[in-house]
Structure 1
């Protein structure tokens, strides 16, 4: 039952037309003219594959939040997580969902970072797409990382409180806005 529910939640999150962040296409700077930035709202990043029998195959990915176990056992001052990719197939005629991992035998690709707070880091709580980029959130450091070529690239640090102190926000999930809102 729990596997079926998990599969249903994964399918719902994939098929829902959502993105990370606000759907704005421009920002205003009071000291300068209007700055326009094109936002690529393509979601999901890869198109689903539709089959003649009505089945639909989606590209999916998962990431691990290892909490205190994210410290690397073999590299000093390094924190790790695992990232795994695969396909989810939904067959409406049978009401079946199946998942096929790219590398079934492994735990996934090992992602690592040297960024931490109080000896903790790479506690990656969320995996989202935004502007055709794959992003993960570190709930200890407040960093948003881009995942590029299976490497964590620090992108943005979200500060706690009013943003005046260099203290990372404890971010566990991404706020999502419907595209057509």
Structure 2
């Protein structure tokens, strides 16, 4: 399962590993990440990290490739995650991207560079013509990040998600294979 994508001198993408558990718990115990994602719980406990690590292995076995990547810093280890929600059948030409980055590393352009390189890699290695990003409207920074990485806004999905009894709209963005 060992596969590595070098982003720059400090950042690389790899599979998630058992030793990532402490950083998963530390960094995902962040209300900002919880507010801006669909499935990451808060508080985030060790059992959540165990479930995540098992899911990443299961996804690899199911799809025969990594669908969830650990973002690693040369000095600090795991600092984030990025992956795709894989579509099959008549929707097999598209995937949906999702990501998170630990608070100390935000605002440095790391995720923009990761998204650019990984989406280009996906277009080169998979039969994709479309990668979508759906971003809650209360998270404009994430929409800007995707735009910097080559995504274009397509519209708003009204009442896209139901979370804690409240509906949230999402900005739809997509990157189309050239």
Fold conserved (TM > 0.5)? no
TM (norm. structure 1) is 0.26
Q: Which has the higher helix share?
A: 2
- Going by fraction, where is strand more abundant, 1 or 2? 1
